[in-house]
């Protein structure tokens, strides 16, 4: 089963798998984004972060491999009278054509080498003074048997030491890159204690 089929199957259920509220880490750090800035939400699924950011007055584009997820996003945005651009594409085929003031993602499950490719592309299309805000499951989510969700495949989970070299560039400032334990309350998909990696990176030029 490919990524589109897998996520379409999951998002076809009634309601929203990860709830309607934004990822808390992204919500708490949205103040860092340039006022009225253009934001790309990578692997955005059913759109909980995109909806929140559009409500805050940002210019939002949501990208995902699941057309079912993006359709649910579009219908909810229509009901809320929000304008959100949706891009249906697998990140394997993604070739960014624009610059963004912020790039966000929550629980973007990608194998290598696709993960490094996608993150490098995100850095390249980030505008000067732009910000990256992302939260992932760490490898310890699986190794520590945390009950709150996530892939049962270490290759789809993250490690701070593996991420750090990608952002070791003169024009990038790593504001936060840490592994923490916290409680998740995100729909039926993420519930309970979790081992998380939180990332905030700013581009100087």
Domain boundaries, the chain: 3-203
Look-up of token digits 């990332």: 199
Query: For residue 4, what pLDDT is reported?
Result: 78
C-alpha distance from residue 15 to each of 76, 78, 189 (Å): 11, 16, 11
Residues 6 or more apart from 161 whose CB is under 8 A from it? none
Query: For residue 67, what pLDDT is reported?
Result: 94
Q: Over the stretch 90-104, which tens digit does the pLDDT of each residue have?
A: 999 999 999 999 999
pLDDT at residue 81 greater than cutoff 90: yes
Query: For residue 86, what pLDDT is reported?
Result: 98
Predicted TM-score of the model (pTM): 0.96
Buried b / exposed e across 14-39, counting CB within 10 Å, b at 16+? eebbbbeebbebbbebbeebeeebbb
Look-up of token digits 């394997």: 92
pLDDT band at residue 122 using 50, 70 and 90 as cut-offs: very high
pLDDT band at residue 13 using 50, 70 and 90 as cut-offs: confident
CATH superfamily of 3-203: Vaccinia Virus protein VP39 (3.40.50.150)
Query: For residue 1, what pLDDT is reported?
Result: 57
- DSSP per-residue string spanning 141-163: HHHTT-SS---S-GGGSB-HHHH
Average pLDDT value for residue range 136-153: 96
Query: What does the mean pLDDT of the chain come to?
Result: 95
């Amino acid at each position: 089963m490919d990524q589109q089929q897998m996520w379409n199957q999951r998002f076809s259920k009634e309601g929203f798998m990860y709830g309607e509220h934004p990822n808390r880490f992204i919500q708490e750090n949205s103040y860092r984004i340039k006022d009225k800035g253009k934001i790309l939400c990578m692997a955005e699924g059913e759109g909980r972060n995109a909806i929140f950011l559009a409500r805050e007055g940002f210019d939002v584009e949501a990208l995902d491999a699941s057309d079912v997820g993006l359709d649910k996003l579009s219908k909810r945005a229509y009901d809320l009278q929000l304008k959100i651009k949706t891009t249906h594409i697998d990140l394997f085929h993604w070739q960014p054509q624009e610059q963004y003031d912020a790039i966000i993602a929550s629980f973007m499950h990608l194998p290598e080498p696709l993960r490094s490719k996608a993150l490098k592309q995100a850095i390249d299309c980030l505008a000067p003074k732009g910000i990256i805000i992302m939260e992932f499951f760490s490898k310890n989510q699986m190794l520590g048997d945390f009950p709150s969700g996530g892939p049962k495949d270490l290759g789809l989970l993250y490690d701070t030491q593996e991420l750090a070299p990608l952002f070791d560039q003169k024009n990038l400032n790593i504001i936060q890159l840490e592994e923490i334990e916290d409680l998740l309350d995100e729909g039926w998909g993420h519930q309970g204690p979790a081992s998380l990696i939180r990332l905030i990176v700013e581009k100087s030029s």
